[in-house]
Amino acid sequence: MRPITPELVIEAAEKSIGSVDYCFLITLSESGQPHARLVQPFEAEQHLTIWVGTWGESRKVREIKKDSRVALAFYDEEDTAYVTLLGSAQVESDIKKRRKYWREDWIGFLPKGPEGDDYVLIKFVPSRIELMSFGRGILPRPYGLRPAVLVRSGDSWALADNG
């Protein structure tokens, strides 16, 4: 088994995230109750920054505006892997970004398209990555009982003790 390094974990996370169409976005209510919902993220960018398009009046938007702490959870069935990204989110309404992050099949939900005032983006920036991948052999000891964990510091990632 290969040693677990930040590079290995990031590579596995990028592959797992890139292999699925949907993930769960988890926000916090005013009372601290987590709310999870299925979303269709766009392809992850550098440092696993992820964009999600949504209706501007949605509960997730209201919750992110009050508490930016968010989690994204992905399940990669092919590799029997999961990735949980913890970090912060912000609501963006820049028209150029909305045009860039738009899917034509959303027109039924957002009839005004990317230019409509009802369409906004959620920009998610992770500060922690938790990953377990049976297919890629990323299974910290005790095997299969806890994930590999990376914590972000600036533009770099470091393994964290998750005992």
Q: State the CATH number of the domain containing residue 16.
A: 2.30.110.10
- Spatial neighbors of 134 by CB under 8 A, at least 6 apart, are 79, 80, 81, 144
Please report which helix (H) or strand (E) contains residue 62, including its range: helix 59-66
End-to-end CA distance of the chain: 20
**Cα angle 95-54-25, degrees, rounded to a multiple of 5:** 130
Residue 141 in domain:
yes
CA–CA distance, 65 with 42 (Å, rounded to integer): 21
CA dihedral 59, 55, 64, 7 (to 10 degrees): 130
Residue 62 in domain:
yes
Q: List the one residue out of 142, 126, 123, 131 whose CA is nearest residue 7.
A: 131
CA–CA distance, 95 with 115 (Å, rounded to integer): 6
One digit per residue, the tens of pLDDT, for the chain of length 163 reads 568 899 999 999 999 999 999 999 999 999 999 999 999 999 999 889 999 999 999 999 999 999 999 999 999 999 999 999 999 999 999 999 999 999 999 999 999 999 999 999 999 999 999 999 999 988 877 766 789 999 998 889 999 976 5
CB contact at 8 A, 60 and 25: yes
pLDDT at 3: 84
Residue 147 in domain:
yes
Q: In the chain, how many domains are there?
A: 1
Residue 33 in domain:
yes
Give the residue numbers spanning the domain of 40: 6-159
pLDDT at 33: 96
pLDDT at 162: 62
CA–CA distance, 129 with 71 (Å, rounded to integer): 10
- Spatial neighbors of 147 by CB under 8 A, at least 6 apart, are 82, 84, 130, 131, 132, 140, 162
Residue 44 in domain:
yes
Residue 1 in domain:
no
